[in-house]
Amino acid sequence: MNTIADRYEIGEVIGTGGMSDVYEAEDLLLGRTVALKMLKVDLARDVNFRERFRREAQNSGRLNHPAIVAVYDTGEDQREGVSVPFIVMERVFGHTLRDIVRDNGPFPPAEAAETLLPVCQALQASHDAGIVHRDIKPANIMITNTGAVKVMDFGIARALDDHTSAMTQTAAVIGTAQYLSPEQARGKTADARSDVYSLGCVLYEALTGHPPFEGETPFAVAYQHVQEEPEAPSHFIPNLTPTVAVNVDSVVLTAMAKHPADRYQSAEELGEDLELLARGAVTHAARSHVAVAGEGAAESTTTLEPVEEPAPPKPGARHRPKQEKKKRSRWPVWLAVILAVIALAGVGVVGYRAWQAASDAAREQETVAVPDLVGLDRSEAVHKLREAGFQDEIEERPDPEVPEDQVLATNPEAGSQLQRGTTVTLVISSGKEQTEVPDLSGLTIQEAQEALAEAGLELGEPVRDEPSADVPEGQIIEQNPTAGIELPKGSEVRVTRSAGPDTTRIPDVTGLQLHEAEATLTSLGFEVAVDRVDSTRPEGEVLALSQPGEEVISGSTITVRVSNGNLMVMPDLSGLTKQEAVDALKREGWRGESGDIEEREPRPTSSSSADRTIASASPAAGDEVDKSVHVEITLYEKRSTSTSSSRSNADGHTALREALQR
């Protein structure tokens, strides 16, 4: 591999992954260094991988943001008989966030927040364009040598409104296990909030040096994303002030909420809190956390104050503690002031708590009507329920009509009078019930419809027919989605049916030259076998072929009989002179010369005109003979009558003597 598309001169490999390799390349047309990403040849034979790679090119090409690696060009190149797609991208020099954390350790909170803020901006631009990344992880975030942040690899991204593509319909678990959102791990549809969750996992790792969940297998990690809560990241970060600890935990754990409705609802919202965290200000998530904690507890609420911290460094830098000013500490003075304030406030606090306890007790005795929440989405319903003074409990139930995340019912039902603090169950729609796609390979269309109906699925139309030499006609050779995938009931499964072997009519190529016949047959997909035979026809001419005019399986071998051109038809040499005979033989393709003709005993004749003409020849006229055949001729010879008689008598006496001697 040297040059691609007569434009990109390939250099060294600068990256490799499960499905593609990335090369440094020189754009010969524009004279610039680029990165060329090429799908691996063995995967290029798979239509699903080609589709995924093509979608990466489309999605990346639609995005124009300084924090997203730019795509310049796309195309395909022939490798090992396969059309292999490639993407030409901006060449970025730097290190991935994964490598930086691995080599240098975790980031301080302010630096981590500032580093990932451009990622939020890039994702918001992507989401505004209708594209979900679905594989946000440290390895896909590049910190350039100039400190810029770049988001890479939209290989498994999909459009937010793409509900028809085969790869989306499978609801397959796609992504990297350590950063996989719970809905992706459960095979459900990913949206913009799924990217928020993954970025929360990345922030967790940037702060602590390790991902939130680890396990021996990807399935074990995915299970934890669905079922378990991560340990607060502040537990792994030493020397945090209480405000920073609450800020860090609130931002990370809000981004990583199990249910999308409980997370930041956009990358922009997460970015706002990262900006506050970078400045040392109290984040929105921290304020919400403190407010919720205050509603459910009788203890006084802690007030968070902004921490005075130095301006955060640029991405890729590290904090260096400033030298303490050599000034005399004022801590004893401030301690005295604080103790005095606490002492004066003690009486007020005790009185306030007594009043608050009495007030809370009175409120708990009140009864409140359960609000009507049916049809609201989860987050709004939870908010209204808590606002009314109730605790909430979630129960999910599939429903073919009600969209996912909408309230189906409450228990007790709306209007019921309950004491404040009572738990009300919200019955939430989980969408259509999931079912497993059956294996349809080898079934007829009717059998496939029955199998799909039993699973609660439908056969997609139209059914596509493709020739197959291996699968009998009428049986299914391919399905999409594949067997074993979980789909909502009522979804369609598309199939490809065998049309039987592909057949082609054998053309009649007799009379053509061999090279013409071979070109005709191979263009139709046939293999050609040549049988050379002796013939008087010109050398290389096709004399016959097997099964002309018949329909046979494409790719079959056709045997053609081809003339060697080594035979000729013996001409009639009677009455010709020897030279005229040579000329006649030459016209038929004879390879001999005049001296190669053997003359037998001449035959006497009295005709002057017949003298020295051919009386007979061997081989006989009309015989098919080799062009190098040995020719014998008998010539007429004119003789007088007396000479002929005496010679006859002499011959008779000689014959008599020989008979007596015997």
Pick out the residues of the known binding site.
37
Q: Which residues share a beta bridge with 59?
A: none
What's the gap between Cα 451 and its chain centre?
A: 28
In whole angstroms, give the CA distance from residue 355 to residue 300.
13
Q: Which residues share a beta bridge with 26?
A: 9, 33
For the chain, what's the residue count? 662
Are residues 156 and 135 in contact, defined by beta-carbon separation less than 8 angstroms?
A: yes
In whole angstroms, give the CA distance from residue 596 to residue 327.
129
> Which DSSP state fits 398?
-
Q: Is 394 left (phi over 0), alpha (psi -120 to 50) or beta?
A: beta
Residues 6+ apart with CB under 8 A from 627: 566, 567, 568, 588, 589, 590, 591
Q: Which residues share a beta bridge with 84?
A: 77
Task: Pick out the residues of the known binding site for ATP.
Answer: 37
Are residues 495 and 439 in contact, defined by beta-carbon separation less than 8 angstroms?
A: no
Q: Is 588 left (phi over 0), alpha (psi -120 to 50) or beta?
A: alpha
Taking alpha carbons only, the member of 593, 577, 583 closest to residue 636 is 577
In whole angstroms, give the CA distance from residue 571 to residue 82.
58
> Which DSSP state fits 114?
H
Residues 6+ apart with CB under 8 A from 523: none
Residue of 46, 73, 77, 135 marked catalytic? 135
> Which DSSP state fits 513?
B
Are residues 88 and 8 in contact, defined by beta-carbon separation less than 8 angstroms?
A: yes
Specify whether 42 is catalytic.
no
Q: Which amino acid is at 240?
A: L
Q: Which residues are catalytic?
A: 135
